[in-house]
Amino acid sequence: MSLSLSQINSFHQNGYLVARQILRPEDLDPLISDFSRLIDEIAEQIYQEGAIQSLFEKEPFERRIASITAATGKSIQSQVSFPVNLRRPLFDFLHCDHLLDIIESLVGPEIYSNPTHHVRPKLPESVGMDDWIQQSPVHQDAAVLMPEADDTLVITSWVPLVDATEKNGTLCIYPRLHTGAIRRHVKCPYGWTIADDERPTGEPIIVPAQKGDVILIHGRTPHGSVPNRTDHVRWSLDLRWHDARKPGGRPLPGMLVRCTDQHITRYEDWIQAWQDARADPTPRKIYRWI
Ligand SMILES: O=C(O)CCC(=O)C(=O)O
């Protein structure tokens, strides 16, 4: 279902929108099952290597990766995230009609899946893992794209795979700050964050979202996420989209997922494009700030 006119207006007024109950179990379950299978495979491999003494097979999806990480003391999260994970169920989810229908409401019928996607199993703080998946300090997504995309409306869709709350590390958003310039960002241990002197004043809004909801964020809206103070993993995906005819600002393989008069990118071509990109030694500038 498309967004209503009032939802579209609200998005443009506030710089974000929580679209409620867009995704059904049949959209999310195949993806969650594949993440579980992938964690099985990773667990089996590091068990064989002797890094863990248990496979933690009985642990539910919301706990298992945390238990494995706590046992190894090493982050395995990037192995489940894009672009290490280019598995078919993720590709299929990037074509989910329920998701693309709401994206189309904002960017039009020619939709490009920008290669800036992440899968984030945000672990309980108590596990003590301190990396870019666990911490998301305040930033604008447009700032991590190259300036060629500054005039492109790049939408982030934030997709929780479990209910996301203030306690388990949902997003915090500064509304109505998306109409100004891209703020200066500086490198921090977790990626990029808005420089102190350009940081929004005041407090952000904490935005809970249930499994099935999608939070849509304008590329210039400052946002981040709060700590996960529970004992379970806050699984989510953040995916970026724009009008396929406009520049996306990330010189890595994206793909055409919806269009009116051309063929969309096939799975095999997407995989090949990533193989080619990985094999290409030409230096690529990915961030404008360095
Ligand atoms: O999922 C998170 O914790 C942060 C996500 C985020 O900041 C983003 O999608 O840009």
- Residue-wise pLDDT for 104-141, tens only, equals 999 999 999 999 999 999 999 999 988 888 889 999 99
**Which of 7-11, 63-67, 99-103, 125-129 shows the lowest mean pLDDT across its residues?**
125-129
Average pLDDT over residues 213-217: 98
Q: With cut-offs at 50, 70 and 90, classify the pLDDT of residue 262.
A: confident
Would you say residue 72 has pLDDT above 90?
Answer: yes
Would you say residue 44 has pLDDT above 90?
Answer: yes
Sorted by sequence, the CB contacts under 8 Å of residue 56 that are 6+ apart come out as 43, 63, 64, 67, 68, 71
Express as a percent the part of the chain with pLDDT over 90.
92
Q: How far is the CA of 283 from the centre of ligand 1 (A)?
A: 27
Cα–Cα distances (Å) from 211 to 19, 27, 32, in that order, read: 11, 11, 12
What's the pLDDT score for residue 111?
Answer: 98
User: Could you give all domains of the chain from N- to C-terminal order, each with its CATH number?
Assistant: 5-28+85-278 (2.60.120.620)
Contact 207, 215 (CB under 8 A): yes
Ligand 1 atom with the shortest distance to the CA of 169: 3
What's the pLDDT score for residue 133?
Answer: 82
Q: In what order do the strands lie in the sheet containing 16-19?
A: 16-19, 214-218, 155-160, 234-243, 111-122, 255-258
Would you say residue 186 has pLDDT above 90?
Answer: yes
Out of 125, 136, 235, mutate this one to test ligand 1's pocket (max ligand atoms within 8 Å of CB): namely 136
Q: Which helix (H) or strand (E) holds 46?
A: helix 25-48
Closest CA to 191 of 113, 84, 290, 69: 290
CA geometry: angle 106, 218, 138, nearest 5 deg: 160
3-state class of 137 per DSSP?
Answer: coil
Summary mean pLDDT of the chain = 96
Ligand 1 atom with the shortest distance to the CA of 224: 7
Cα–Cα distances (Å) from 167 to 61, 172, 228, 233, 234, in that order, read: 18, 12, 6, 11, 10
Express as a percent the part of the chain with pLDDT over 70.
100
Out of 156, 165, 241, mutate this one to test ligand 1's pocket (max ligand atoms within 8 Å of CB): namely 156
Contact 63, 231 (CB under 8 A): yes
Q: With cut-offs at 50, 70 and 90, classify the pLDDT of residue 59.
A: very high
What's the pLDDT score for residue 26?
Answer: 98
pTM, rounded to two decimals: 0.97
Closest CA to 168 of 203, 211, 204: 211
Ligand 1 atom 7, closest CA: 224
Average pLDDT over residues 84-103: 98
Q: Which residues line ligand 1 (CB under 6 A)?
A: 120, 122, 136, 141, 156, 158, 223-225, 236, 238
Looking at residue 125, what DSSP letter applies? G
Q: For residue 117, what are its two tokens? A: 């996607």
Ligand 1 atom 2, closest CA: 225
Q: How far is the CA of 236 from the centre of ligand 1 (A)?
A: 9
Sorted by sequence, the CB contacts under 8 Å of residue 8 that are 6+ apart come out as 105, 106
3-state class of 232 per DSSP?
Answer: coil
* Rounded Cα distance, 84 and 79, in Å: 6
Q: With cut-offs at 50, 70 and 90, classify the pLDDT of residue 290.
A: confident
Q: Radius of gyration over alpha carbons of the chain, in Å?
A: 19
Q: How far is the CA of 136 from the centre of ligand 1 (A)?
A: 6
